[in-house]
Chains A and B, each alone.
Chain A
Amino acid sequence: MLARIQSIRRRLDALRIALLSPSSEEIVNCLPALEEAVPSCHQLELELPDDSDPLARLEIRIALHALQSDLQIAGRLIEHGAALHQGWAMLLAAAVGGYVATGAPAPLTAGGTVSLEG
């Protein structure tokens, strides 16, 4: 069970490193490993040790707390990265089309239309 938790943590760490970089390619590259981690997490629930091994329970409890921390870090990085890029996109959009009265960027409109007749 500990090995499974460590495996999930390794995948999360790869995601964390990818999220530090602004490139979306690295994040996309992590997705298959994360998808594999999901069933592993479900399997954890089924493999809780019985009461006869208190040492194992302590080790697993501490490992699960560490996994929880890693998930928190990854979650915050995703939220923060999304917020950064979203804010930047709003600034760029406003730089092109200005703002509306509510303070939101104005929607981009095409300068003209192209018609094709065949």
Chain B
Amino acid sequence: MSRQPVVGRPVPRVDGWGKVSGSAEYLADMALPDMVHAAVVRSPHPRARARDIEMSAALATPGVLAVLTPADVAHLPPVRIFADSPPVQRILTDTPQFTGDAVAAVVARTEAGARRGALAVEVDYEPLPAVLTAAEAREGAVQLHPAAPGNRAGPPIGVSRGDVDAALAGCAHEFRDSYSTQRQCAQTIEPLACICDWTGDELDVWTHLDSMFHFRDALAEALAIDAEQVRIRPPEALGASFGLKNSLIASLEPLAALCSRTVGRPVKLALSPEESMSATVTRHPARIDLVTGVDDEGILVARSADVLLDSGAYGWGYVVALSMVGKWASLYRTEHLRFSATSVYTNHVPGGAYRSVGTAQIHFAMESQLDDIARSLGIDPVELRRRNVTRVGDPLSFGTTIRSFGAEACLDRGAAAAGWVRSGSAGQAGGSTSSETPGVVDPQAAPEPPHPVTVPLPGSPTSTIGSSGPAEPAPRHDPLGRSRGRGMAMGMHHAGLSGLTPVPEVSRCNLELRTDGTVSISLGVIDKGQGALTTLTLVAADELGLPIERIHSHNHGTAAVPLDFWGAEASRTTYVMGRAVADGARRLREAIRERLGVEPAAVTPEVIAAAGAAAGDGRSTAAGAGPEPEQVGNTGSISVEGYFAPADSDPLPVVGAHFCEVEVDHATGRVRVLRYVAAQDVGRVINPLGCRGQVEGGLHHGIGYALLEELRHDEGAPLNPNFMGYKVLMAGDMPDIEVVLVEDPDPDGGPYGAKGVGTPVIPAIAPAVANAVRDAIGVRLTELPMTPPRVLAAILGAEPAAG
């Protein structure tokens, strides 16, 4: 049997049919016998004390079975939102800390009844002064949590190497810039929901958590029970997460569990779209101050970063800062480095995980500033990065030597695909007002722009202090016209969690050769759309030489699969679980060989396919195409465990280089991204369909982060927590996308050298767009999102005269 490998070829996802046909069952579609419903009473104040909770009207509402109040959770410990975070949150609280904090819950026979009951709960609030900015929180005049002096959300993060101040003093050029980023929502199309069923001492939870085991333990801790009493099960199909389900939402699973215990029946708690957006977690807003010193050649000599993160009421800025510093320090070689980050509690919705934790924020700052440095020094921005970027052999934060880093390949291939016109002292093709002038397209075809807006400056012999924007002549734009600009940025994130958490980075899975000739892979990562089950099936298929139809990967929940603490977080499934599956497949081959007593070479795909058939039961293999069992021997079912634990002390570094062209409407300030080239080093492409989809989908979040997405508040009350007000991009807003999948395999990375893709695609996007906007309008925007008012204000500020 000559079988082509499937790894590297486009394969439709193994769970696709249920999704295109509508038959796949999501949490919203599930119902258990006798199931009842819960709804949450949420604080309308960002900070308050609930003096009295009157529940008689709620209890009198038809169908209402129970009302839970903070008194019902008083015996339970406070909840930690993530593994390393301080436990500061109550499942129900009489001192709400953000608008949307859960104060009470109502259980009723129907969802509508529960919601009506929740509306009937009367809470007498005493509003308290709220802390609504991170700067105010840092000053600490009002302390929000008794256990958090100075409102510090976890310990500060600091890294120092060399002598930054002395080095800066000796630098030819110094750049000081401040950036700020906003509160971004995952806005999954599927609202969050869970079902909890408490029977006796045991709790079954059907929910959607990125890491089942991690949150099984966290849920048990929150409920003060033993982890073994909790079984977490994913439904048949799970909506996307993007990090939203990477935190324990106290008012979801823990609350539903208490409701179930109270009424003795299964309880479904389905959050509304508004609750899913404004009462869960968001990306942490950040204020980032950068000081960077470079020499005349653009070599980075010294860098410092000072970061202030808004963790909201219960967030985990500490983890965000930890993720930030590693990439900030590692993407470019720099002798002198100093990083400090403080995260503080405020009276906002908690900050949590969001695809590309920390690196989305820090890259917007550092890659924007690098663009200004390149401009100021008259160096092409690709060239500037090439001169500084980390190389194979360099160390990562915790000392791992980089084995593979496709940065230069991403720069080269991305620039080639983009038709990047080299800029710098040789003549910088800047923004133009002609709608026909392509900025990022064909270098041959790029005509002289009618209104050159950027003029290369001669390298200044003295330090450039203050704003890093070079003093260019004001661009002469048509106030009613459009201008185009192009920009690029690099991005780095990690795959896996080695070194970032106290819990070891390990994956396990079970492989069973069944008597019907199929291989069953039981594993504890979820498929939330990223394609984990398909990817892992392909790896096993190639390792065993079996058609993918013979392999069934599945996750039946914590009681049925081997422990995998970190699950589907941090782009780790292909890397860590992929290696475990490959390991398991090799062990399975070896087990078959032993059982049959043959040489390794004799364990052909035909033999494997036939080997599982039980002796004497007369059944042949499922497909019937292979030889009969008696020709090759049979083994009965065989089970093995696959295992992988990275030896590295850092997570796997993953890098990309992105290029884009934007068009800015000078009448309105509206930005459109026209064309986008994303070159990502994925190590090895397992499934091009999946890889490409992850990059393209990442662009939806990244460009939205750059231009539009922000959960806004007025005096702590969310203004736009719905699909109308929170603006994600529509199909017509997306650019023409070219995905360049660079394969620079890591010999000790994931299977076949694979790395990760879903998360690492994000960090380069916002700065690439920001740099293109800078190119188009001649002004640097340092605040996300770059909405039409901000862009127009920048344009107006640069226009020579009013009007």
Q: Is chain B found bound to chain A in the same assembly?
A: no
List residues of B whose CB falls within 8 A of some A CB. Answer: none
